[in-house]
Chains A and B, each alone.
Chain A
Amino acid sequence: MSADYEAVIGLEAHVELATVTKLFCGCLNEFGAEPNTNVCPVCLGLPGSLPVLNRTVVEYALRFAAALDFHVPEESIFARKNYFYPDMPKDYQISQYEEPILVDGQIEIDGVRIGIERAHLEEDTGKTTHMGGGGRIHEADYSLVDYNRAGVPLMEIVSRPDIRTAEQARAYVSELRGVLKTIGVSDVKMEEGSMRVDANVSVRKVGATEFGTKVEVKNMNSLRSLGRAIDFEIERQVEAIEAGERIVQETRHWDEADGRTHGMRTKEGSSDYRYFPEPDLVPLAPSAEMRTAAAGQVPELPQARRARLIAEWGIAETDARVLVDVEGLADFAEAAVAALTDGAARDVANWCTGDVLGYLNETGLSIEVLPLAPDGLAELVGLVAAGTLSRNQAKDVLAECLREPKRPKQVVEERGLEQVSDTGALAAVVDEVLAANADAVDEYRAGDDKVKKKKRGFLMGECMKALKGQGNPQMLNQLLDERLG
């Protein structure tokens, strides 16, 4: 982007709430059931049916409010958003419009405060599958509708236009996901659609106070594509303005394959949703008890946890981020640190972000199903700290403990891996090796640094060979230093 311009970005996140039942009826809220099996008169919008609000949804929203500092008005109002679409059973969506349940929240990203204008509750629609014609509605032979998703609770979270870069947008969404996951109200899987994010993007000359014309960008199904789409859109708008064109207010579709946004066919008259207050529901007024209870259900949030781990363990910001972002990893690490008898917390963190995470990524397993328990990792760190295992040996032991239900000490015994750290035994080996390789010792003594290094390595190798690789390397080094002068 030209240095003369800055972007103004606002994000709208739709998050499926992980309740057991739907927003307005008792049908199961589950992903992947047989089509049209989790349905009833209410979520099918049959004539005469009426919605009844799910209390847990309100509890979840209040917990989210407590986490991100929202104001919860005394009352909020459900409204009908009217438009025709085959996967919408009532041909209106029950949503919230002028009076949402939460207003004025915020998230801090690297010291920058991103305001959240509002969060409101609404019902999801069904899912249409177009058959034939490559799955596109206009060429399809016919369409099938699955209403299992109809009535699933959604929370729409609308940021203020406080975001300036794609990087910041990604950080905001990442933080939002972390919070939602931590407080246990959503799976927030962008790939499965339980979190969908649209971006409103405009650009303006640096220093301008007016906003430029905004464009809504949809269809990003990962953090990566969100960042790419925003960057592309910023470029496109700046180039257009530089070329003397006007930006049209429109909705554009991100195409992951060609890496571009495309204007969508405009639907005539689609913008008038004729909102009015939903007469089938009473105003939503959470009780003081519910508000208080929600505040008590917010666990330590990602940002606070990262700060604590950095301070307590002396680890790097990036490592703290990995620990907290990967589901269950920080819990695992904290349990291991709690079980530690010898060794440092940062060693635990290093194993977790290194070998343990590597294994999880390689196998696709989640941490709960590993045969390795946190105190097993603590044991391993203890063995290294005590000098029983070298780091390289510990790597092998850990690899086995990640696959098999074995304690590190058990593996050490089975493999006879115990490191030789007895000074007398090591000294005898070193003397033997030096005596048997007098040539090399002479060359070492006469040689320059390069030769010294080479011969020294050779002698160390011979010592290790004699010890079947189990000599304590620090002690061997020390003994060699003493004897070679």
Chain B
Amino acid sequence: MSAALEIAADVRAGRRRARDVLEEHLARIDASEPEIHAFNLVLADEARAAADAVDAAVAAGDDPGPLAGVPIALKDNLCTRGIPTTCSSRILEGWRPPYDATVVARVAAAGAVAVGKTNLDEFAMGSSTENSAYGATRNPRDTSRVPGGSSGGSAAAVAAGFAPLSLGSDTGGSIRQPAALCGTVGVKPTYGAVSRYGLVAFASSLDQIGPFAGSVADAALLLDVIAGPDPLDSTSSPVAPAAVSPVLRDGVAGLRIGLIDELVDADGVAPEVREAVDRAAAALEAAGATVERVSVPSVVYGLSAYYLIAPAEASSNLARYDGVRYGLRVDGGDVATMNARTRDAGFGPEVKRRIMLGTYALSAGYYDAYYGKAQKVRTLIMRDFAGAYERFDALLSPTSPTVAFELGAKADDPLAMYLSDICTIPTNLAGHAAASVPFGTDRDGLPVGVQVLVDAVQEPTMFRVMQALEEAGS
């Protein structure tokens, strides 16, 4: 079921009206959103106008583009011109960006219809979408459970049928982990493949925007639209990436797949998750790939390195929320007091925790021991992956050690929460690509995700493996 591809094909051919497609989705949002809370803001009026414009273009004989009339949900840390962009934080209260993020402009130019801004852990810091100033999002597969995070709203929007496509951001697993927990496809592209311009920064050297979709083919459709050089982002790759949609049917015969020892055997990986990975490996072998175990030793240090680098960058990125220019301001007698009161009132506890961690890690006298050492670990992880990719075309691991957990289960235990990302973090540190594909369910019917990892710019190979897993799993 590739809903987005079908909608776009039908709308472009004039078989369906974008407006009708939209109304079906808005009706679903009306019915279930109060329970799910995937959105911080539903853009019904704006979406109707955009859908009508798509229909008008088709009527005039113009092609609205590859995403013609496809409803899309946007994580609320992507800037949208004139529309509130909150990052689920009180500190950005009332702020309306004067510009669109590059990805927002690209999906609009391709004919997509933005239906809303989705909930997230505040500034993308979290793994459950419970750290939101606007309340938690619930998992559509079981509303007593979290959708994962930080892009929980975007994952839930696709899982609940609010939109066939959504955009999220992934700094340490924030697309892949919620995709796994909600049973959708989620892709973290190679660092630099997708422009970060207009993505409100959490950790600039790790952040990457990517798609959620109900199918691998739909995810490929969206990735091909958003990827590509952007002169507004100096870290975006100047070379246009190879399209992934054309290779989906190429199969996996002859591909060498490595099963990462350290992640498959990690403490805390639930038996049913581990079994799903084994079944996925067997399915790939059945499809003609070779599968072997591989050790990538340094990935076990990924979590520690990440929790120095990401907070360090965040402490600097979030300094600008000082009450001077936009967003929340709590008055004080002088500037410093105003700054402090604003930040105290505007940031939630997890954001404060990370700002403090990062400030400490960068402080004079501690830099080498913390930030500097974490960067060395990062280099080591890249080296170990490079060794693995000499022998393998793609690697396989669990996406999340567990299926979706109950709301509140880890809310008071940051370390337990951080461990949700042990399998996904190494990819961000290396700057490579990885994706989560749903592969069966546990005995309670909760979805399990399998992670496919590839070297930088090897997305075409990654999508061939993802497609094979989807076909074997369904």
- Residue A339 interfacial (CB < 8 Å): no
Return B236 CB to nearest CB of chain A, in Å: 9
- Closest residue on chain B to residue A45 by CB atoms: B320
Interface residues of B in 320-363 (CB under 8 A from A): 320, 322, 324-326, 335-336, 339, 359, 362-363
- Residue B290 interfacial (CB < 8 Å): no
- Residue B135 interfacial (CB < 8 Å): no
Which residues of chain B are near A280, meaning CB under 8 Å? Answer: 201, 204, 234-235
* Contact, CB under 8 Å: B196 / A50: yes
- Residue A232 interfacial (CB < 8 Å): no
Q: Which of B322, B362, B363, B367 contacts A84 (CB 8 A)?
A: B322
How long is the Cα–Cα vector from A199 to B77 in the complex, in angstroms?
45
Interface residues of B in 397-439 (CB under 8 A from A): none
Return A13 CB to nearest CB of chain B, in Å: 26
- Residue A41 interfacial (CB < 8 Å): yes
Return A390 CB to nearest CB of chain B, in Å: 67
* Contact, CB under 8 Å: B79 / A48: yes
How long is the Cα–Cα vector from A93 to B63 in the complex, in angstroms?
45
* Contact, CB under 8 Å: A279 / B205: yes
* Contact, CB under 8 Å: B200 / A47: yes
How long is the Cα–Cα vector from A143 to B324 in the complex, in angstroms?
11
* Contact, CB under 8 Å: A41 / B99: yes
How long is the Cα–Cα vector from A27 to B385 in the complex, in angstroms?
42
Return B319 CB to nearest CB of chain A, in Å: 4
Which residues of chain A are near B324, meaning CB under 8 Å? Answer: 86, 145
Interface residues of A in 270-313 (CB under 8 A from B): 271-272, 274-276, 279-282
- Residue B312 interfacial (CB < 8 Å): yes
- Residue A430 interfacial (CB < 8 Å): no
How long is the Cα–Cα vector from A51 to B233 in the complex, in angstroms?
7
Return A266 CB to nearest CB of chain B, in Å: 15
How long is the Cα–Cα vector from A141 to B157 in the complex, in angstroms?
49
Which residues of chain B are near A51, meaning CB under 8 Å? Answer: 234
How long is the Cα–Cα vector from A84 to B359 in the complex, in angstroms?
13
Which residues of chain B are near A282, meaning CB under 8 Å? Answer: 234-235
Interface residues of A in 69-102 (CB under 8 A from B): 80, 82, 84, 86, 89-92
Return A137 CB to nearest CB of chain B, in Å: 8
- Residue A44 interfacial (CB < 8 Å): yes
* Contact, CB under 8 Å: A80 / B97: no
* Contact, CB under 8 Å: A50 / B316: no
* Contact, CB under 8 Å: A276 / B362: yes
Which residues of chain A are near B101, meaning CB under 8 Å? Answer: 48
Which residues of chain B are near A89, meaning CB under 8 Å? Answer: 320, 325
Interface residues of A in 236-287 (CB under 8 A from B): 271-272, 274-276, 279-282
Return A23 CB to nearest CB of chain B, in Å: 12
How long is the Cα–Cα vector from A275 to B99 in the complex, in angstroms?
29
A415-455 interface code vs B (CB 8 A; 1 in, 0 out):
00000000000000000000000000000000000000000
Which residues of chain A are near B320, meaning CB under 8 Å? Answer: 45, 47, 89-91
- Closest residue on chain A to residue B327 by CB atoms: A47
How long is the Cα–Cα vector from A274 to B336 in the complex, in angstroms?
19
Interface size in chain B (residues, C-beta < 8 A): 44
How long is the Cα–Cα vector from A48 to B371 in the complex, in angstroms?
24
- Closest residue on chain A to residue B78 by CB atoms: A48
Return B394 CB to nearest CB of chain A, in Å: 27
Interface residues of B in 79-116 (CB under 8 A from A): 79, 85, 87, 92, 95, 97-99, 101
* Contact, CB under 8 Å: A91 / B319: yes
Which residues of chain B are near A52, meaning CB under 8 Å? Answer: 231-234
Which residues of chain A are near B316, meaning CB under 8 Å? Answer: 80, 82, 92, 274, 276
* Contact, CB under 8 Å: A48 / B97: yes
Return A58 CB to nearest CB of chain B, in Å: 13
Return B391 CB to nearest CB of chain A, in Å: 30
* Contact, CB under 8 Å: B313 / A279: yes
A18-60 interface code vs B (CB 8 A; 1 in, 0 out):
0000000000000000000000010011111111110000000
Which residues of chain A are near B92, meaning CB under 8 Å? Answer: 47
Return A126 CB to nearest CB of chain B, in Å: 10
* Contact, CB under 8 Å: A46 / B326: yes
- Closest residue on chain A to residue B198 by CB atoms: A48
How long is the Cα–Cα vector from A41 to B87 in the complex, in angstroms?
17
* Contact, CB under 8 Å: A274 / B205: no
B199-210 interface code vs A (CB 8 A; 1 in, 0 out):
111011100000
Return B341 CB to nearest CB of chain A, in Å: 13
Known: A46-B326, A48-B79. 9 other contacts (CB 8 A): A41-B97, A47-B200, A48-B198, A48-B200, A50-B233, A84-B339, A91-B320, A276-B313, A282-B234
15 contacts between A and B (CB under 8 A): A45-B320, A45-B325, A46-B326, A48-B101, A48-B201, A50-B233, A51-B234, A52-B234, A53-B234, A82-B315, A82-B319, A91-B322, A272-B363, A280-B204, A282-B235
Interface residues of B (CB under 8 A from A): 77-79, 85, 87, 92, 95, 97-99, 101, 196-201, 203-205, 231-235, 312-313, 315-316, 319-320, 322, 324-326, 335-336, 339, 359, 362-364, 367, 371
7 closest Cβ contacts across the A-B interface? Answer: A91-B319, A279-B204, A274-B362, A279-B205, A47-B200, A48-B198, A48-B79
